[in-house]
Structure 1
């Protein structure tokens, strides 16, 4: 049995009635069986876990003052440069959120808006989805609508999207969605997944529930036939093989779907001179010397991600791969990222690189050009391995990935 209204086993029905009894002190008239079953399904009808989840949710709503969320004014930069928008319905009449996520400027967004406000903007959207969109579509359809499809377009996604503060913020949004809006997702369909997608997926996968992972469909560039099984061309923009455009003929339908783009510097807030990097290592790089930070990469196509800042002065930075098992000078190693001077005393530096081969990689902080000043350095370095799922679709002539839903 699906665990939905009209499709409950005897055990599930008994569990629902007990759930109502346990929560009678906090339930309101609008908390009907459809609502309560969402929380039960999210915890596989485990009464204790479902009760804890829902009570935590009620406490969170009170703490975040969500009764006034509709009146909150979202910062302009988020309205203009965050990607995505509700657009059309799927073949069953459920709403579709289309998100060209590959075009978002995560660094620019977090330098221009508070992380809390970015997450709050998503909460405001989800509240409107449940209080207005689902109800309107339910009336039109004549039966309950309570879930949506999210279509993620990862075209233009690159290594810059591994920007750690941005990834951390996105993972917080996933956790918020899983904890407070369970069973809202019908399917997540990812299209134009790039070759380094297994690395990105491995970062976010720990934040996905098992149910969400099973609802995820990951595709490459040959996505149209599969996509049409869920969303008809009549409900898609022309840029995705559909038949809809903006009134002015724009094929991306940007009047309804935020297209992201680089955030102008005019939105940036004043930067601190030294980065506040969580768990950073703090060292001094002596005058006329360099510091080599070693990274052991065991799996090819992993990525090395770094953040660092210096106090008062710039520093040189480069990435190398050892060609022997012993410590080497930079001139003897394979150059991966050429050494260059970085103004990390003005703006915290971050970046990443894909390691096409396993081995020992060296991040070299170069202060050999300075004979008078040592440099105080704060750095964080991580090795990100690709997911072990076999994403390659052997039936496709182009790069394609897939996870079949159950």
Structure 2
């Protein structure tokens, strides 16, 4: 398995020329990096005007590994080849390194760059990336992989400290500024060949260096600064920084325009102990859930019923001693059964989600207020009054559902849970709910029974006395509702509850579907006028799929035997595009098509396979049923589509970009339309 590392952008608040002088002091040896045994120059060249300086070195590094592993390998040091391309004109240094020792078994490559800060020309930016691919190493692949990455990341921070050490040394010796490069005088007889020599050397240099642009320091805010991470996200190890940057970059590639905040991404990484693949899977599922349930708009759209505001015994109350927002929940005083019967389970879930959304918003506010990263909040749970009536079976079932939703979509948002006045019935409740709570979350629970919370080691260790609520013996007047029994006269009838649940289900904007090989999922859209716009937005939750758009002669008919909306091959008139779009797992796609003909348009998703170029709609019912019972991949899809009048859509047409894939181009039939509608189809992968 290839291991990768990507650093954030590290900023030296010194000019490029001074940083280069400090960098050169690392050679030929560097006592500050003990594993660096020395180096020798293999090749060196300069352009005639001195603007480009290329140096190739052989560097020896000590193997910092267990004795057994060194004995098996038969070496005490490894050799790396490093190529430095210094461009004084552009004020850039690009560094490429790769291992020469065991190159057939282990492939290590590293790319570094020093560039001028895009907003301050007197500062210098540094970026570093590396990859490790252990193909074969005497059966010690896994051990070597862990040792190598541990040693590499340990030296990452040390490298930055070495540059700062030599910068300090230069400044202490009176060198705080170095002049910028100016072209060297060229003798008249050499003038005619300077452009050729310079061009040749520059082309060689650039071909071996990372291109500026995506790999350089961006001025568009798509890269993270190390100081920003420390200031706004907290202290992270080099590997944790790398995981954050890699996951963030992946989201930028697949979810354009919909990138979560860095604090949000970091929570999912922490929830999966910075295992990149697991965190990415968890985050993608959560993003799809947020889209399906429109959670991003919850704080603007959700207004709790008046009955919920009166009887829900929970609310925000200042912050704890660490600056975390404090939420107080008097569960023992709350009539959970009455609330469920009066407002329904869905309304309670919406309210719980709004509390979590508000908690994240308050964490951001406290981060700005206190000037340090605050990414989680504290909950004070008062259980006085908890009894067997709270263990009502539907209520416990609803509680478990809410815990599951919060655990999956708001990981690492709870910094501490203070449970006070836990009665004897609490162990029964804890036995029921604890299996649904992750181990990381359970570690944050502090449980106090009776009046244990009042003495040393109690609430005073986590809350200031002027924040402890009055009902717990503190000095703060708490405005959290006291709860109480909900009058039965306010209960909903069963018919009202069912109707409310159906309305909520019908109001869901996005739909989910499972797609099997040989049985595509199709959505038929009837167009009464030729000039309409079909828009779509879908996420591939599992598996790889192929998306196509067809025009049919008439509305397809479905039967109980069919797995979903189907149409026979004779009904299909034409494919709207020449080639279908292959969509990979995790991608988010949106697009549109300006219809040319009235009739029925079929949006079709099918499992991607070598045979996917043949439309599954052309298969008969027997073929479909056979495919359903045969082994094959199952894909999952979350989608939304809508038809708009062309005049309503035209104003937003320019906001949609066309992909370079063939799918976004017009088919021969479509492209024959008038030039005023040359862009009838648009597709964006985000």
- TM-score category (smaller protein): 0.5 to 0.7
TM-score normalised by length of structure 2 = 0.37
Partner of 1:101: 331
Q: Which 5+ residue runs of structure 2 have no aligned equivalent?
A: 1-153, 155-228, 496-686
TM-score normalised by length of structure 1 = 0.61
1:23-50 C-alpha deviation (Å, 9 max, x unpaired): 2222658734433211100011111111
Higher gyration radius (CA): 2
Q: Which residue among 264, 267, 273 is the counterpart of 1:44?
A: 273
Aligned residues of 2:234 and 2:373 also touching (Cα < 8 A): no
State the distance in 2 between where 1:6 and 1:109 align.
Answer: 40
Q: 5 Å matches for 1:257-272?
A: 257-271=480-494
- 1:108 offset after TM fit, Å? 0.8
Partner of 1:313: none
State the distance in 1 between where 2:272 and 2:317 align.
Answer: 30
State the distance in 1 between where 2:279 and 2:419 align.
Answer: 29
- 1:232 offset after TM fit, Å? 1.2
Partner of 1:31: 260
- 1:186 offset after TM fit, Å? 0.7
Aligned residues of 1:148 and 1:187 also touching (Cα < 8 A): yes
Q: Does residue 7 of structure 1 match 2:239?
A: no
Partner of 1:136: 365
Partner of 1:231: 463
1:353-377 C-alpha deviation (Å, 9 max, x unpaired): xxxxxxxxxxxxxxxxxxxxxxxxx
Partner of 1:122: 352
Partner of 1:53: 282
Partner of 1:153: 382
- 1:114 offset after TM fit, Å? 1.7
1:71-117 C-alpha deviation (Å, 9 max, x unpaired): 22222222111121111210111111111100111211111112111
Partner of 2:392: 163
Query: In the superposition, relative to structure 1, how do residues 27 and 83 fare at CA in structure 2: closer, same or farther (>3 Å)?
Result: farther
State the distance in 2 between where 1:27 and 1:100 align.
Answer: 42
Query: In the superposition, relative to structure 1, how do residues 73 and 55 fare at CA in structure 2: closer, same or farther (>3 Å)?
Result: same
Query: In the superposition, relative to structure 1, how do residues 7 and 144 fare at CA in structure 2: closer, same or farther (>3 Å)?
Result: closer
Query: In the superposition, relative to structure 1, how do residues 30 and 60 fare at CA in structure 2: closer, same or farther (>3 Å)?
Result: closer
- 1:168 offset after TM fit, Å? 1.0
- 1:68 offset after TM fit, Å? 2.9
1:155-200 C-alpha deviation (Å, 9 max, x unpaired): 1100111101111111111111111111110111111111122111
Q: Which has the higher contact order (CA 8 A, sep 6+)?
A: 1
Q: Which residue among 456, 466, 476 is the counterpart of 1:244?
A: 476
4+ runs deviating over 6 angstroms: none
- 1:207 offset after TM fit, Å? 1.1
Query: In the superposition, relative to structure 1, how do residues 188 and 239 fare at CA in structure 2: closer, same or farther (>3 Å)?
Result: same
Partner of 1:206: 435
1:310-349 C-alpha deviation (Å, 9 max, x unpaired): xxxxxxxxxxxxxxxxxxxxxxxxxxxxxxxxxxxxxxxx
CA RMSD of aligned residues (A): 2.2
Query: In the superposition, relative to structure 1, how do residues 156 and 11 fare at CA in structure 2: closer, same or farther (>3 Å)?
Result: same
Aligned residues of 2:271 and 2:412 also touching (Cα < 8 A): yes
Q: 5 Å matches for 1:5-404?
A: 5-24=233-252, 25-26=254-255, 31-69=260-298, 70-131=300-361, 133-221=362-450, 222-225=452-455, 226-245=458-477, 253=478, 256-271=479-494
- 1:9 offset after TM fit, Å? 2.2
Aligned residues of 2:384 and 2:423 also touching (Cα < 8 A): yes
State the distance in 2 between where 1:150 and 1:27 align.
Answer: 35
State the distance in 1 between where 2:354 and 2:307 align.
Answer: 16
Q: SS at the partner of 1:233?
A: coil
- 1:271 offset after TM fit, Å? 4.5
Query: In the superposition, relative to structure 1, how do residues 115 and 32 fare at CA in structure 2: closer, same or farther (>3 Å)?
Result: closer
- 1:20 offset after TM fit, Å? 2.0
Query: In the superposition, relative to structure 1, how do residues 206 and 28 fare at CA in structure 2: closer, same or farther (>3 Å)?
Result: farther
State the distance in 2 between where 1:68 and 1:6 align.
Answer: 28
